[in-house]
């Protein structure tokens, strides 16, 4: 996807009937529907059923089955609660009548209250970093590997890793990962669209972070990776045309599951969103 409108078209759903919507799939190179796509499309479905003065503040989703790239996805929204300040929705994503994902999302009116946050980590600014693709070019990465990596992410979103990017599987690293990202095009959209775009991007890097201390071990046998669940909290407004820092770490991995969490800051150090995810890391012995 070279243009931001292509990404917006992907995550924007067609209304089929009351509280029922349909979306189509980005054709991934790994043969299953991308989790960030289902997350963003589910949020889009929920947004189509809430008042225009409410904005998402949190969502919690579970990936139940791998999605089939060749089939459209139906999204059914349950109207759980319409309160004075909060609005709650449940979304189920289905293919051939089977649930592949479900999500609860909460929306809130803008309100005044107490305010604090942790400080942003002190990392190298994005202007002094190479993009992920530029790093691979400097490393003379095999063209087939380079092309496969390039197809994973939308081209319109630029990613600049803080750490040196390596695709080698035999070198362990600390369970930390950080990158700057932004849209290459202007994003003059409302808060709802900004949040849906961030939901899509938020699935990049969390599961990988949990694998970093175990790369050598995992390279010894085929390993199956997939997201199990994903949580996203929106703290403050932001714009994707500005640089955002995604700071991730993985406090734990056990029982074939890796747990990761992330903090997303804007260029001024304001914490705009937080994430958490567990993913399956299953060695196929």
Is there a contact between 247 and 83 (Cβ–Cβ < 8 Å)?
Answer: no
| Stretch 137-156: mean pLDDT | 85
How crowded is residue 34: how many other Cβ atoms within 10 Å of its Cβ?
22
Is there a contact between 72 and 36 (Cβ–Cβ < 8 Å)?
Answer: no
Give the pLDDT confidence score for residue 169 in this predicted structure. Answer: 73
Of the residues 192, 203, 229, 249, only one is catalytic, namely 203
Strand partners, 234: 273
Band the pLDDT of 203: cuts 50, 70, 90. Answer: very high
User: What span, in angstroms and rounded, lies between the C-alpha atoms of 134 and 140?
Assistant: 10
Band the pLDDT of 49: cuts 50, 70, 90. Answer: very high
| Stretch 125-150: mean pLDDT | 88
Beta strands in the chain (DSSP E): 14-17, 20-23, 55-63, 73-82, 86-95, 98-108, 157-161, 176-183, 223-234, 244-254, 257-266, 271-283
Domain spans, the chain: 4-110+120-283
Catalytic residue status for 260: no
Q: Which of 76, 73, 69 minimizes the C-alpha distance to 23?
A: 73
Token code pair at residue 222? 């085929």
Is there a contact between 153 and 1 (Cβ–Cβ < 8 Å)?
Answer: no
Band the pLDDT of 140: cuts 50, 70, 90. Answer: confident
pTM: 0.95
User: Beta strand pairing status for 157-161 and 98-108?
Assistant: unpaired
User: Beta strand pairing status for 223-234 and 271-283?
Assistant: antiparallel
Catalytic residue status for 5: no
Of the residues 106, 194, 202, 227, only one is catalytic, namely 227
Please name the CATH architecture into which domain 4-110+120-283 falls.
Beta Barrel (2.40)
| Residue 101 predicted with pLDDT over 90 | yes
| Residue 145 predicted with pLDDT over 90 | no
The residues near 9 (Cβ < 8 Å, ≥ 6 apart) are none
Token code pair at residue 63? 């990936």
| Stretch 255-280: mean pLDDT | 97
Give the pLDDT confidence score for residue 139 in this predicted structure. Answer: 86
Write out pLDDT tens, residues 12-45. Answer: 999 999 999 999 999 888 889 999 999 999 999 9
Give the pLDDT confidence score for residue 70 in this predicted structure. Answer: 95
What SS3 class is residue 11?
Answer: helix
Is there a contact between 264 and 190 (Cβ–Cβ < 8 Å)?
Answer: no
The residues near 126 (Cβ < 8 Å, ≥ 6 apart) are 160, 180, 182, 243
Give the pLDDT confidence score for residue 242 in this predicted structure. Answer: 97
Write out pLDDT tens, residues 165-202. Answer: 877 777 899 999 999 999 999 999 999 999 999 999 99
Catalytic residue status for 53: no
User: What span, in angstroms and rounded, lies between the C-alpha atoms of 75 and 78?
Assistant: 10
| Stretch 58-76: mean pLDDT | 96
Give the pLDDT confidence score for residue 234 in this predicted structure. Answer: 98
């Amino acid at each position: 996807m070279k243009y931001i409108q292509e990404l917006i078209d992907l995550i924007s759903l067609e209304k089929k009937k009351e509280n029922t919507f349909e979306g189509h799939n980005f054709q991934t190179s790994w043969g299953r529907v991308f989790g960030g796509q289902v997350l963003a499309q589910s949020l889009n479905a929920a947004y189509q059923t809430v008042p225009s003065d409410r904005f998402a503040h949190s969502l919690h989703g579970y990936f139940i089955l791998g999605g089939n790239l060749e089939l459209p996805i139906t999204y059914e929204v349950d109207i759980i609660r319409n309160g004075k300040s909060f609005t709650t929705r449940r979304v189920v994503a289905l293919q051939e009548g089977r649930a592949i994902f479900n999500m609860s999302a909460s929306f809130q009116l803008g309100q005044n209250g107490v305010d604090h946050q942790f400080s942003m980590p002190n990392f190298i600014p994005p202007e002094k970093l190479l993009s992920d693709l530029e790093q691979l070019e400097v490393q003379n990465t095999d063209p087939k590997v380079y092309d496969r990596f390039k197809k994973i992410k939308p081209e319109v979103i630029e990613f600049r890793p803080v750490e040196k990017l390596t695709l080698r599987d035999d070198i362990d690293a600390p369970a930390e990962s950080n990158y700057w990202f932004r849209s290459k095009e202007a994003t003059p959209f409302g808060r709802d669209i900004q949040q849906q775009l961030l939901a899509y991007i938020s699935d990049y890097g969390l599961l990988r972070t949990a694998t970093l201390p175990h790369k050598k071990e995992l390279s010894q046998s085929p390993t199956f990776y997939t997201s199990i669940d994903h949580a996203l909290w929106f703290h403050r407004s932001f714009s994707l045309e500005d640089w955002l820092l995604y700071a991730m770490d993985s406090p734990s991995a056990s029982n074939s599951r890796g747990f990761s969490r992330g903090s997303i800051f804007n260029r001024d150090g304001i914490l705009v969103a937080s994430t958490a995810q567990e993913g399956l890391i299953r060695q196929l012995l």
